[in-house]
Amino acid sequence: MPVAIITGGLSGIGLATSKMLAGRGVKLAAVSSRVGSSQYKKAENQIKSAAEKGNTTCICHAIDIRNPESVTQGLALIQETLGNVTILINAAGTYHHEALDNHSFEGWEDTIAVNLTGPFLMTRACWPMMVSAKHGRIINVASTAAHRGMEEYAGYCSAKAGLIQLTQVTALEGAPHNITSNSISPSWVDTPMMKASLTNRARSRGVNVETLYNEARKDNPQSRIITADEIAHQITWLALDAPLALTGEDIMMTGGASW
């Protein structure tokens, strides 16, 4: 059975994916800087419960994906505990809601670090294990924000656009080694990050947050907000069942919207 790493594995899309892969019997490490926090203990227990049902092994491990040393040390422990990693899911994400003329440098740096530098560092660290195994599956969670700019999200849009290019470069370099690399670009997904984002936007616009939820629903031709489980299903398919020829692609999941 393959070994998977899921960054951002304790929340939103990452949590849904951790539980789904564990349920399929995949050995996995759910990675987050929040591992051990009382706020995320429930999530850790949910992953462990899914692993028990899937008759597999899982660990929750703290890694700061922005830090090369933390990534290197974390990957060494995961490899020692679970074996060589052949599936990498970069689901960790963050954003800063700030207008350009008041956008802090710290906010820009953090957004780029988590959404783009982190996937690069994790890919680089997992690469030798995948090359050695002559098999690898890398899935990056991008966003429709990579394709269409959003006011007051300069860092987030820029980082996600860069992530799609990293995905394509990784696919080209991975092709001789049977390593595939694909990204998924969802529109609004019902996650804690969406809730926080819309709450901040509602505050700055002086409107009720439910108004923005309704706007998000109207942006989706299916008139709803996509669930984290839907994205996790697509990630799981790419990780376990997709054909080798599918690589270098960005898969839009928007309920039919053309952006």
- The enclosing H or E element of 232 equals helix 228-240
From its phi and psi, is residue 55 left (phi > 0), alpha (psi between -120 and 50) or beta? left
Q: pLDDT digits over 78-136, tens only?
A: 999 999 999 999 999 999 888 899 889 999 999 999 999 999 999 999 999 999 999 99
**Do residues 166 and 209 touch, judged by C-beta distance below 8 A?**
no
Q: pLDDT digits over 202-219, tens only?
A: 888 889 999 999 999 999
Distance CA 141, CA 175 (A): 20
Q: How many CB atoms lie within 10 A of CB 15?
A: 26
Task: Say what the pLDDT of residue 151 is.
Answer: 87
Task: Say what the pLDDT of residue 37 is.
Answer: 85
- The enclosing H or E element of 42 equals helix 41-53
Mean pLDDT of the chain: 95
Q: pLDDT digits over 136-152, tens only?
A: 999 999 999 999 988 88
Of 21, 3, 11, give the one whose Cα is nearest residue 237: 21
Phi and psi at residue 138, to the nearest 5°: -120, 125
Distance CA 204, CA 200 (A): 6
Q: pLDDT digits over 187-203, tens only?
A: 999 999 999 989 988 88
Query: In the structure encoding, which two tokens stand for residue 210, read together?
Result: 């439910």
Task: Say what the pLDDT of residue 91 is.
Answer: 98
Report residue 1's pLDDT band, with 50, 70 and 90 as the boundaries. Answer: confident
pTM score above 0.85: yes
Helical ranges in 95-224 per DSSP H? 105-112, 118-133, 154-174, 192-205, 209-219
**Do residues 127 and 72 touch, judged by C-beta distance below 8 A?**
no
Return the amino acid letter for 79: Q
Task: Say what the pLDDT of residue 201 is.
Answer: 85
Greater confidence (39 vs 119) lies with 119
Helices 12-23, 228-240: axis angle to 10 degrees equals 50
**Do residues 250 and 171 touch, judged by C-beta distance below 8 A?**
no
**Do residues 107 and 155 touch, judged by C-beta distance below 8 A?**
yes
